[in-house]
Amino acid sequence: MYRTTFAGLLGVVFLFGVTVVSNGQAVQWEQKQVKTPRERLAERSFPNVTLTTHKGKKVKFYDDLLKDKIVLINFMYVRCDGKCPGTTANLVKVQKLLGDRVGKDIFIYSITLKPEEDTPKVLAEYAKAYKVGPGWQFLTGHPKDIELLRQKLGFIDRDPVRDADKSNHIGMLRWGNEPHTLWAGCPALLPPAKIVKEIGLVDWPASDEGALRKDARGGDR
Amino acid sequence: MANISKINRRAEKEKQQAAKNRREIVAAGLSRRDMIKMGLLTSAGLLVPMSGLSVRARTSAGRFYDSGSGSGPSSPPTRPFVQPFTRMTVKQPSAVLNPAPTAIPNAAAGEGRTITHQAFNQFAPTRFYEVEQRLANISTHPDLPVQPLWGFDGLVPGPLYVERYGRPVLVRNHNNLPANNGGFGKNFVTTHLHNGHTPAESDGNPCDYFTPGQFYDQHYPNVLAGVNSTHQATGGDIQESMSTLWYHDHMHDFTSQNVYKGLAGMYLLFNDFDTGDETTGFHLPSFGDGVSDDSNFDVPMLFSDHLYDSQTGLLAFDTFNFDGVLGDRFLVNGKVQPVMHVHPRRYRFRWLDAGPSRFYQFFLTDTTNLNQRIKFHQISTDGNLLERPVEVESVRISVAERADVIIDFSKYAGKTLYIENRLEQEDGRGPTGKVLPAGQGNLILKIVVDLPPIADNSVDPATITRFYGLPDKTATPRITRTFNFDRSNGLWTINGRSMDPECQEVRLRISKNSVEHWIVNNSSGGWQHPAHIHFEEFQFLSINGAPPPSTGLVLNGRKDVIRLEHNMQTKTFFRFRDFVGRYPFHCHNVVHEDHAMMLIWEIVDGQGDNITNP
């Protein structure tokens, strides 16, 4: 039961109406329930905007980058004036630890907070400088779309002054498993091995407590 | 129904207007100073809650966090007060557990625990329970579809444990949650008994989680603090008695999602004074059989707020909101806006704010006479009886805080009262501090005083001059430590640092049976934090530099949550004793907690450390 297959999960649609509710409202809701929670989450939180990768390729945020994948997402910008505390360098180590799964079922996305400055060419040079491997894309796009993504993914501060300071949005790493609607986050500067174990929490069910999370529990306790 | 849709249309229009106004403010490039000058922004950085600017200025609608777009959804309409209030199901013990519980973790049989019970022999359990976390299809309101929630024993809230001091119990938790989470939630769990004086391995540490198919034995000795230290001769310090506890999932990174999905319940502790029988002890209203109108006058109430998807009607969690999530539907014991019928007599209500992020200030409102100030008695804070009852007209609680109150309905025979939340809160960061006028808050529970008169053997709380005394807080601390709750680089932090997700980084070590002073501060005027420490209660030494007011006995009481309001500075007294092990200290806005506003501390047999800013 626990090892539900990925394909099986995709086929699941919630069915209601089996339970009788006194005034018949449940029947109405059954007819309305054409969308799965996964689809509703995508509609609410993952605008399918077009972005450009550091290799110059046009991609759709949901269709091409998230759908059916485990992903790590952070926001960054190249000319950080010394404020960015080495997040990219840390994620390079995470990528190494994740090994060949990056690019296969796990993908890393770094979205620029300064799309006006960070053209695909600038991002390509940045990626090269950090020796970023395949399966990790730096993304830029129309400022309006970038801003929409930032809002929808919650890289924001309610205080408008703090919100305007882009360095306030670089500390968090979001990760999730799109088909399993499992999303959480952690500080982007955690030790790389700990980040890998964190991501293990959204690994495919068959891998639970598997590769990414061995020794995660107990430890020296 | 027509009326509701009219209100919704108005709310929608207001939202659109608010969004437009905000877009214009942004487009105009106004500086913060300009905005403050124009009265659009408070000095704390909040948009002034005037109609047409804040989407919640006039409505109480929750929404997905939209940061200014103002276009977040609301729940589908639900008719208020059309379903009955329900009491929690009392948990029944099991005669035998198979396999029998063992002090050493029974990994071979599938136990997820990794640490040996430290007090299993000293406080050998005499009562055994078996509970399972599982999927449950539950109706929260007849106008909504049946919800695929996660509940203990398939109940939301979970079953009510009714326990007594001096009777150790063992609860075997089975994780039977499905892989499919229906939109949010993680099917790994760890159950925390909130403010239990519980050995660390049974406390529900966020890293002591167990996975589907596994079980975990939790040993609750139900002993008073001091039992192994300051008050061995008396079996603990009676002044440390607790009465209203709760339990909830504490899975690291996923507590907010899992608790919102239903994994929470309550746990009562009686003793020879607070007996549950109004003819004995303190003569507080009887718990009775816990279920029937004519016997149960001591009623636990778990408050939560939900947001339902406008299209599917299903409970929705805003996964990408890291400030905290608010709902626009208010539930008591798992039902949206229920109706309770009571006798014209005294009742004890035990109020719990189960979050995830909302603060409440409860008043009793008679909607036919809004000027009436209805008084009642608060008898406890965070589940601990005060020195004596305090007459109040409202009670404010933040997430995880509890307040027991006694309300005398004999004065309101034939009338209808509402429990109304009048505390304004616009987003997950905390309330604005404004208390709304009567009738303009959230009416949550309708109470109709229409059951027939019935005997009342409880005493008038106004005549109670003493419950327990307060533990001495004059002892010299071994160390004074400081904790600043803050935010940096988009992260919630304590002393600028985040939680170690493996719970292995111990930020401070405390000598067993020692006294410490903790200075706990909120560095911000923009958000509030209900800071919760596991295992030991504290007493305030000062709040914002002044000793707690002597007239407000509530702030003199023992607590386990420091409600850190804007820029608040507190100094607290702790005595750590009896058991050893690792416990968390964290923000109980569970969204903040999941975004790393937590640290691990440890009680050790040897010498603690001298770190003053852990």
pLDDT per residue as tens digits for the range B537-582: 999 999 999 999 876 689 999 999 999 999 999 999 999 999 999 9
Select from A151, A180, A219 the Cβ nearest to the Cβ of B66: A151
* Position B186, amino acid: K
Cβ–Cβ of A21/B142 closer than 8 Å? yes
Shortest distance between the Cα of B142 and any Cα of chain A, in A, equals: 6
Cα–Cα distance for residue pair B207/B414, rounded to 1 Å: 51
B369 inside domain: yes
Residue A142 to residues A48, A49, A111, A112, A139: CA-CA distances in angstroms?
13, 9, 12, 11, 11
Shortest distance between the Cα of B147 and any Cα of chain A, in A, equals: 9
Q: Are residues B25 and B80 in the same domain?
A: no
Average pLDDT, chain B: 90
- pLDDT for A21 beyond 60: no
A 10 A CB-CB count for A58 gives: 10
B612 inside domain: no
Q: Tokens standing for A152?
A: 């929808």
B229 inside domain: no
- Asked if A171 reaches chain B (Cβ–Cβ under 8 Å), the answer is yes
Note whether B169 and B127 are within 8 A (CB): yes
Q: Are residues B35 and B143 in the same domain?
A: no
ipTM above 0.95, yes or no: no
Confidence of residue B5 (pLDDT cuts 50, 70, 90): very low
Q: Are residues B37 and B145 in the same domain?
A: no
B280 inside domain: no
The per-residue pLDDT for A25 is: 55
Residue range A97-127, pLDDT digits in tens:
999 999 999 999 999 999 999 999 999 999 9
The per-residue pLDDT for A158 is: 86
- Asked if A5 reaches chain B (Cβ–Cβ under 8 Å), the answer is no
What's the mean pLDDT in B133-139? 97
Q: Are residues B264 and B312 in the same domain?
A: no
Residue range B412-461, pLDDT digits in tens:
999 999 999 999 999 999 999 999 999 999 999 999 999 999 999 999 99
The per-residue pLDDT for B489 is: 83
Select from A25, A156, A209 the Cβ nearest to the Cβ of B142: A25
Interface of B with A in 3-22 (CB under 8 A): none
Select from B73, B254, B596 the Cβ nearest to the Cβ of A187: B596
DSSP state of B41: B
**Nearest Cα to Cα of residue B510 among B403, B376, B603:** B603
Which residues form the domain of B411?
A: 76-86+299-465
Q: Are residues B81 and B104 in the same domain?
A: no
The per-residue pLDDT for B612 is: 98
- pLDDT for B39 beyond 50: no
- pLDDT for A13 beyond 70: no
Shortest distance between the Cα of B255 and any Cα of chain A, in A, equals: 11
CATH of the domain at B541: 2.60.40.420
What's the mean pLDDT in A58-82? 94
Sign of CA dihedral B451, B453, B455, B460: positive
The per-residue pLDDT for A7 is: 36
Chain A positions touching B490 (Cβ under 8 A) are 155, 157, 168-172
**Nearest C-alpha in B relative to A19:** B146
Interface of B with A in 328-387 (CB under 8 A): none
B610 inside domain: no
Note whether A74 and A172 are within 8 A (CB): yes
- pLDDT for B23 beyond 80: no
Residue B279 to residues A19, B293, B544: CA-CA distances in angstroms?
43, 18, 42
Cβ–Cβ of B253/A186 closer than 8 Å? yes
Residue range B250-269, pLDDT digits in tens:
999 999 999 999 999 999 99
Q: Are residues B461 and B336 in the same domain?
A: yes
Q: Are residues B319 and B407 in the same domain?
A: yes
| Topology of the domain comprising A39-213 | Glutaredoxin (3.40.30)
Sign of CA dihedral A162, A166, A171, A172: positive
The per-residue pLDDT for A26 is: 55
The per-residue pLDDT for A206 is: 73
What's the mean pLDDT in B72-89? 92
Element of type H or E holding B581: strand B581-587
Q: Are residues B507 and B523 in the same domain?
A: yes
Cβ–Cβ of B504/A158 closer than 8 Å? no
- Asked which of B434, B465, B496 is the last residue of a domain, the reply is B465
What's the mean pLDDT in B464-489? 95
The per-residue pLDDT for A194 is: 96
- Asked which of B465, B493, B521 is the last residue of a domain, the reply is B465
Confidence of residue A32 (pLDDT cuts 50, 70, 90): low
Cα–Cα distance for residue pair B429/B324, rounded to 1 Å: 6
Residue A44 to residues A27, B317, B612: CA-CA distances in angstroms?
25, 11, 44
DSSP letter string, B279-343 = TSTT-PPP-TTSS-TTT--EEEEEEEEE-B-TTT--B---TT--S----SEEEETTEESEEEE--
Q: Give CB contacts under 8 A, 24+ apart, made by B461-464.
A: B461/B346, B461/B377, B461/B379, B461/B389, B461/B406, B462/B377, B462/B389, B462/B391, B464/B282, B464/B388, B464/B389
Q: Are residues B540 and B502 in the same domain?
A: yes
* Domains: count for chain B: 4
Q: Are residues B499 and B594 in the same domain?
A: yes
Judged by DSSP in three states, B362 sits in: strand
Cα–Cα distance for residue pair B519/B541, rounded to 1 Å: 9
B350 inside domain: yes
Confidence of residue A211 (pLDDT cuts 50, 70, 90): low
Q: Are residues B533 and B492 in the same domain?
A: yes
Residues linked to residue B519 through DSSP beta bridges, in sequence order: B482, B571
B548 inside domain: yes
Residue ranges, comma separated, of all CATH 3.40.30.10 domains in chain A are 39-213
What's the mean pLDDT in A133-155? 97
Q: Are residues B453 and B398 in the same domain?
A: yes
DSSP state of B579: -
Cα–Cα distance for residue pair B105/B110, rounded to 1 Å: 9
